[in-house]
Amino acid sequence: MRAIIRGLTDADFERLYGTEASCLAALVVVRQAAGMPCPRCSNPKSYVYGRRVGCTRCNTRWSITAGTVMADTKLPLTTWFRAMHLMTSTKQCISAVELTRRLGVTYETGWYLHKRLRHAMAEETDRCQLGGPGDSGSTPIVEADDVYLGGERNEGSGTAGKIRVIAACERYSSGRMGAVVMRVVSSFSNEEASAIRDAHIAPGAQVLTDGTPAFHVLGEARRTHYAIITGGKRPARERDAPFFAINTMISNLSTALKATHKLFSAKHLPDYLGAFCWTTNRRSNMKGMIGALFCAVVAATRLTRRTVYA
Ligand SMILES: [Zn+2]
């Protein structure tokens, strides 16, 4: 699937995925490749008719979108595909307002669609591990930092009203930046830092921080931690300087949040961060992104309106 969609222009995209039938065919290919066992008897064999799937043994029937983040959608598949194309073909992830405008749907529909696509991206980011051996055989170092986001402009340098985030980014010895992960935390505590280590820092990884007290735990459980105390000095701007990668990522995030999400809430920030990291981590293959997002959407867990609006 990724190979098929790779390198599409807007015109190619419309020609190939502009009809309901072509989008359905693409969805069937990806779902069958991932396996669609019968929800009742687990029989791996099924047949597809329209947007429905039937079990060849017990004849249970279900929707082709069941069990994915697309479950229960009333939207045409063409709208889903166009939304995925818009979410991945812009450098800074498109806002819900802009997505709504471009798709010609109501804001409620556009926002919920945007939310489900962000959810699919965030779930994949949740499985991302940093600091393991890279493709080229070299192992990147992981730079981690504590970040405050949001809050009122005139609150001075205090942290009132701000959301706390721990960010980590890979940096190769060549200066090249690898994958990035960001997570909202309640405080910069040992517990929060340990949870991020276990979820996102590969065993054996080397982690560099500015010495924030809780970050010493990033060096436990078979990881190694180094601290460079910067003392609030301006970071060096050279590509291979310590903290260049993480500072660049935090700066990119700040730009993206200002440009596309002028208002963001603590409740939805985890998804925005997950989507930002997802897009950033696939930046070297812009053209392959829609295929990757489509696979993430099919693999993502269900999200209901009730949980979203709770
Ligand atoms: Zn069955």
Please report, for residues 27, 296, 305, the alpha-carbon distance to residue 4 in angstroms, rounded to integers and kept in the order given.
13, 16, 32
Give me ligand 1 centre to Cα 39, in Å.
7
Strand residues in the chain grouped as ranges (E): 46-49, 52-55, 61-63, 141-149, 163-171, 177-185, 206-209, 224-227
Per residue in 174-193, pLDDT tens? Answer: 888 999 999 999 999 999 99
52 alpha carbon – ligand 1 mean position (Å): 14
Instruction: Determine the distance separating the centroid of ligand 1 and the alpha carbon of 217, expressed in angstroms.
Output: 48
DSSP string for residues in 145-204:
EEEEE---GGGTTS-TTPEEEEEEEEE-TTS-EEEEEEEEESSS-HHHHHHHHHHHB-TT
pLDDT given for residue 231 in this prediction: 65
Residues in the chain: 310
Q: How far is the CA of 121 from the centre of ligand 1 (A)?
A: 31
Distance 302 CA to ligand 1 centre (A): 21
Report CA(69)–ligand 1 centroid distance (Å): 22
Structure token digits, residue 12: 């190619």
Ligand 1 centroid from CA 78, angstroms: 29
Residues 102/107/111/112 CA torsion (nearest 10 deg): -110
d(CA 114, CA 195): 28
- pLDDT tens-digit series, residues 84-114: 999 887 766 788 899 999 999 999 999 999 9
Burial of 44 (0-12, 13-18, 19+ CB in 10 A): exposed
User: Band of the pLDDT at 2, cuts 50, 70, 90?
Assistant: very low
Please say whether the beta carbons of 255 and 92 come within 8 A.
yes
Domain range 141-270, its CATH number among 3.40.50, 3.40.35, 1.10.10, 3.30.420: 3.30.420
For tokens 């935090």, name the residue: 250
Token pair listed for 237: 């701007």
DSSP class of 144: E
pLDDT score recorded for residue 1: 44
Q: Report the distance separating Cα 227 and Cα 214, nearest Å.
A: 12
What is the 36 CA–ligand 1 centroid distance (Å)?
11
Domain boundaries, the chain: 2-127+289-309, 141-270
Task: Measure 169 CA to ligand 1 centroid, in angstroms.
Answer: 45
User: In this predicted model, what pLDDT tens digit does every residue of 47-64 receive, in sequence order?
Assistant: 999 899 999 999 999 999
When pLDDT is cut at 50, 70 and 90, the band that residue 6 belongs to is very low
Give me the pLDDT at residue 261, please: 65
